[in-house]
Amino acid sequence: MKTVAFKNGTAYDTAVFAERAFMYADGFFETMRCRRGRVALFDYHILRIHRSAKALKIPVDSDTLHRRLAQAIGSAGDDAILKVVIGRAYSDRGSYACTNSVSDTDQVNIYTFVRDVAPRLPREGAALKTLPEPLIGFAGFNGLKLINRLNYIVASVGVKLGENEELLFVDSRGNVVETMHHNIFAFCDGRFITPKMELAGVRGVMREYLLDEGFELLNVPFEQSDITSAELQRCEEVFISNAVDGIVSVSTVDGYKLLGRQRTLALREKIHAKWDGM
């Protein structure tokens, strides 16, 4: 039986329409920072990949995963961003229903994309802008980096950002979740807190690392707690973080200026030194 495909009226490879990751967003992804052949927080990335695979019932073979990552890392320049997309392969039925075995690793596709980046100074002074529309999570899959990012996209359609501005998402209860690409930490009452993200959000690998190791780095507790954007404005310091940018200080929250950043800068120096200029 003949199969044809067109993209904007031009003949296109039909193979992509057999990919469940493309057709149904059946998979997840991971984004890493690679410098001189070394991935920062590598063990945390691997742990989240296997946690995501388990939640989505996608059988990922560990040896195959490491071979694919080694190939991608070996092709990277001195400073690069590595994106890994893992999705279920084509299912014969050709519908939402998945007939693939939950233990057949041959029915899994691992895509790796490497993009070299120019040397850059650490970002500073992000301005957070709260979106009025709440971020809706996917029940049962909160914390994971699903291929489907429509909840973020739809919530931010039409929003214009100025230089160094970042969108700040809240959940349906009015609690802070995260920015579009970063988790958030705030210093108040002698501790750094990060949102619990019970209803929506992605639990980033830098966030997990700081919850595990933050006290050893800064001698300050790092804990999870609910916080509203109004409460965020009254905190002494705020920073955002992810595995690519590291630690980024925040200068304003919805126009309210934050004066402190001493602890944030000290933490960034320790993190960046540990992960070689991250």
User: Measured between alpha carbons, how far is 211 from 208 in angstroms, rounded to an integer?
Assistant: 5
pLDDT on residue 4:
86
Among 81, 88, 84, 37, CA closest to 65: 84
- Using 50, 70 and 90 to split pLDDT, how confident is the model at 1? low
pLDDT on residue 250:
95
pLDDT on residue 99:
64
> Is a pLDDT exceeding 80 seen at residue 242?
yes
Q: How far apart are the first and last CA of the chain?
A: 52
Amino acid at 253: V
- Percent of the chain surpassing pLDDT 90: 63
Domains of the chain: 6-116 (3.30.470.10), 126-274 (3.20.10.10)
pLDDT on residue 265:
93
- Measured over the CA atoms of residue 200, residue 47, residue 221 and residue 179, the dihedral's sign is negative
Q: What is the mean pLDDT of residues 20-25?
A: 86
> Is a pLDDT exceeding 70 seen at residue 162?
yes
pLDDT on residue 253:
94
SS3 59: coil
Of the given ranges (114-118, 174-178, 236-240), which has the lowest mean pLDDT?
A: 114-118
Q: What is the mean pLDDT of residues 174-202?
A: 95
pLDDT on residue 101:
63
pTM here is 0.90
Structural element, H or E, at residue 32:
strand 27-35
Q: What is the mean pLDDT of residues 163-186?
A: 94
Instruction: Please state the length of the chain.
Output: 278
Instruction: Give the orientation angle of helix 205-218 with respect to helix 42-56, to 10 degrees.
Output: 140
Token pair in block for residue 82: 């590595």
> Is a pLDDT exceeding 70 seen at residue 18?
yes
- Using 50, 70 and 90 to split pLDDT, how confident is the model at 128? very high
Among 227, 230, 238, 228, CA closest to 260: 238
Structural element, H or E, at residue 247:
strand 246-253
> Is a pLDDT exceeding 90 seen at residue 14?
no
SS3 191: strand
User: Measured between alpha carbons, how far is 103 from 94 in angstroms, rounded to an integer?
Assistant: 20
SS3 18: helix
- CA distances 87 to 38, 45, 90, Å, are 25, 16, 9
What's the CA angle centered on 47, arms 43 and 50, to 5 degrees?
140
Among 266, 257, 211, 210, CA closest to 236: 257
